[in-house]
Amino acid sequence: MSPSETCAAAEDEVACRQAFLEDVFGPLHRAEQRRWARAYLLGLIQASGRKTPRRIARSNPLPPAAAHGLHQFINASPWDWEPVRRRLALWVAGRTPPHAWTVTELVIPKRGEHSVGVHRCLDAQSGRTVNCQRAVGLFLVTQAHCYPVDWRLVLDESWIQDPERRLRARIPDAETARPLGAHVLDYAADIAARPRLPPVPWVLDLTPCTSAGRVLAGFAGLRLDVVCEVEPGQVVLAGRRPQAVTTVGRLMETRYARDAHLTAAQAPACRARTAPIRAYAGTVALPRPGGFRGGGANRYRILEVRDPTGRHPARYWVSSLTDRSVDETVALVRSRVAVRSAVATLREQFGVLDFAGRSFPGWHHHMTMASAAYAYQHLHAAAGPLTQVPAPVPAHPARAAS
């Protein structure tokens, strides 16, 4: 590459960085807020260890008063995170081919009881009851990566029914205690109402939901395609006239199930193993929520994914994509591996566990910035670090990010 071509490429990368900042953080109306956002974003990418305002300020580097300004930008500044997240989702979808939407739960261990939303709950990964915040993240899955574009904080009744705690944490009046399935359906309805976002299938794990059938019925009502993991006891209606009430586990034990495919699964030692996939020969319906009087109009395919080692029970997936091949459906199933990898990266490199404030808006501000940093780093990793521009340090730091 000639010097002139190198210079042109560098100018293009600078333009891309500037476009990202303008596109995603355009909803921040004040120039000072956008500059704090830039400094915080850069710090999340560059700072090592815990992503605290002090470490972020040191990584830029910024004047000593900047740590307080960064803290104020996250915890006290009244900027609305929802328009920023909408811009982030559009920015990601416009720059990499989207394959699916997915939702996953994030458990954030906490000490004490004052961080917003903290309560004791079961951590599915460790099998232990922990003191934590629970978050539900919306991710856009692409061929290369999985990008977080929205977050919800799961609140239990101890937060919803205590006016003093709500006021102290600045929890909006509209926030209520809702199960995981309700958050999933809220995401789906929001995406369905935004025609500029891609109408790709949803890939979900509904095994933690006590009302997986209602969630699937909700997706059917929104006319959204879904591929989701369910418990073997998930009730389905097999046959057409009459329909027999059964479960996916029992159905796949019948003679109507057939060995359809063998697909390569990645073993822990990075050696390919063969995972048997069984597909139900026909399709099934789901009972209407509240009773078994007739199934919905939607038909579903059932897949059984067996553990190649035989040490773990089979897993079951229900798919509305009845016109897709088994290979295509299994490719979507594998996106759940991508989201686990993305969550691990967010935890280890972008500080989603590191928010130390106590307010509801502060938590959402921090998670928005972490998501933006993740997207920028993965879509423009070759562009090098953001150009360092000093963050504003006003004469009165207490008003730094207002």
Average of per-residue pLDDT across 213-224: 94
Average of per-residue pLDDT across 348-361: 94
* pLDDT band of 390, cuts 50, 70, 90: very low
Q: What is the share, in percent, of the chain residues with pLDDT greater than 70? A: 83
Higher-pLDDT residue of 10, 250: 250
* pLDDT at site 21: 86
Task: Identify the residue whose tokens are 């993965």.
Answer: 378
- Please report whether residue 270 resides in a domain: yes
> If you count them, how many residues does the chain have?
402
269: pLDDT strictly greater than 60: no
Average pLDDT of the chain, as a whole number: 85
397: pLDDT strictly greater than 70: no
Counting beta carbons within 10 angstroms of the beta carbon of residue 27, is it exposed (0 to 12), middle (13 to 18) or buried (19 or more)?
A: middle
- Please report whether residue 7 resides in a domain: no
- Please report whether residue 287 resides in a domain: yes
* pLDDT band of 6, cuts 50, 70, 90: very low
Which SS3 state, helix, strand or coil, does residue 61 take?
A: coil
Range of the domain at 293: 206-320
Residue type, 145: H
- Please report whether residue 259 resides in a domain: yes
Read off the pTM: 0.87
* pLDDT band of 270, cuts 50, 70, 90: very low
- Please report whether residue 291 resides in a domain: yes
**What residues does 121 pair with on adjacent strands?**
130
* pLDDT at site 105: 94
**What residues does 202 pair with on adjacent strands?**
101, 226
100: pLDDT strictly greater than 80: yes
Rounded Cα distance between 94 and 87, Å, is: 10
- Please report whether residue 214 resides in a domain: yes
Task: Identify the residue whose tokens are 């996916």.
Answer: 248
Rounded Cα distance between 312 and 288, Å, is: 31
* pLDDT band of 259, cuts 50, 70, 90: low
3: pLDDT strictly greater than 80: no
Which SS3 state, helix, strand or coil, does residue 293 take?
A: coil
* pLDDT at site 346: 96
Average of per-residue pLDDT across 202-208: 94
Rounded Cα distance between 139 and 285, Å, is: 28
* pLDDT band of 257, cuts 50, 70, 90: low
Which has the minimum average pLDDT: 30-44, 138-152, 318-332, 370-384?
Answer: 370-384
110: pLDDT strictly greater than 80: yes
- What digits encode the pLDDT tens for the residues 28-86? 989 999 999 999 998 999 898 999 999 999 887 788 789 999 999 999 999 999 999 99
* pLDDT band of 1, cuts 50, 70, 90: low
**Residue 388 phi/psi, 5° resolution?**
-80, 125
Q: Give the DSSP letter of residue 142.
A: E
Which SS3 state, helix, strand or coil, does residue 378 take?
A: helix
Average of per-residue pLDDT across 276-293: 80
The count of structural domains within the chain is: 1
Counting beta carbons within 10 angstroms of the beta carbon of residue 115, is it exposed (0 to 12), middle (13 to 18) or buried (19 or more)?
A: buried
- Please report whether residue 187 resides in a domain: no
- Please report whether residue 245 resides in a domain: yes
Average of per-residue pLDDT across 248-268: 65
* pLDDT at site 91: 93
Rounded Cα distance between 307 and 314, Å, is: 6
Q: What own/partner pairs with CB < 8 Å and gap ≥ 24 does 333-338 have?
A: 333/203, 333/227, 333/229, 333/303, 333/305, 335/99, 335/100, 335/102, 335/141, 335/146, 335/203, 336/102, 336/203, 336/205, 336/229, 337/266, 338/141, 338/145, 338/146
